[in-house]
Every structure is written in structure tokens, then in C-alpha cells.
């Protein structure tokens, strides 16, 4: 289960980076055309990017420290869904499932 958590964490983090960049591009395009709240979308895209990087770190340490990795991936998955909902449609569930698998795998 730890290997599955590692794989899901890394793939989820990469998908989260793609979703965060998509949110930043859409927010930037909206601000160019004068859309209300577009600056907030860009800011939340940056937040999602940071959460995705931390999610990748969580996935990377899943073999060595599965309990910490599980908590990191769970929090980053939920935080990313809150930050940029549509951009985290793929990444959020992957990180959450990877976090659950890491926590279950940490029990002997």
C-alpha cells in the first residue's frame, strides 16, 4: 500500500500543478479582460501550486514515513480542492486516496 501511496501522491501532485497553472492562466486572462475577482483566482492558483508541491513531497516520503505522508497528502488534497475546485478534479481524489493508503499501510 505504501508503493501505491507513493505513486498516487506523485501523480496527484503533478496533476495538481497542471490544475494550478490552468487556474493561473484563466485568472490572468480574466484580469486582462477586466473580470471581477480574477486576481483572486490567480492567488488561489499560486496556493494550489504550493499545495501540489507539498503533495509531491508527501508522496515521495510515503515509503519512509507513511503516517506523515498520509496526513500531508490528505491535507493537500482537501486544501487544493478548496483553493481551485475545478483544477483539482483529478489531483484532489488522487492525493486523498494516496493519503488514505499511506495511513492504512503504516499500520502493522
- Does residue 11 contact residue 81 with C-beta atoms inside 8 Å? no
| pLDDT one-digit tens code per residue, 47-101 | 999 999 999 999 999 999 999 999 999 999 999 999 998 889 999 999 999 999 9
- Does residue 45 contact residue 24 with C-beta atoms inside 8 Å? yes
* Grid coordinates belonging to 3: 508503493
> In whole angstroms, how far apart are CA 101 and each of 10, 22, 35, 70, 93?
13, 28, 41, 7, 12
**pTM for the whole thing?**
0.89
| Region at 79 (left for phi over 0; alpha for psi -120 to 50; beta for the rest) | alpha
Give the residue extent of every domain in the chain: 2-106
Amino acid at each position: 500500500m505504501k508503493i501505491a501511496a507513493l505513486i498516487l501522491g506523485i501523480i496527484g501532485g503533478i496533476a495538481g500543478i497542471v490544475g494550478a497553472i490552468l487556474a493561473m492562466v484563466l485568472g490572468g486572462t480574466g484580469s486582462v479582460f477586466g473580470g471581477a475577482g480574477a486576481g483572486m483566482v490567480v492567488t488561489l492558483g499560486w496556493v494550489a501550486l504550493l499545495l501540489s508541491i507539498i503533495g509531491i513531497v508527501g508522496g515521495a516520503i510515503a515509503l519512509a514515513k507513511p503516517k506523515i505522508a498520509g496526513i500531508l497528502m490528505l491535507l493537500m488534497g482537501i486544501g487544493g480542492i478548496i483553493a481551485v475546485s475545478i483544477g483539482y478534479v483529478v489531483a484532489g481524489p488522487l492525493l486523498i486516496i494516496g493519503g488514505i493508503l499511506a495511513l492504512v499501510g503504516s499500520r502493522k
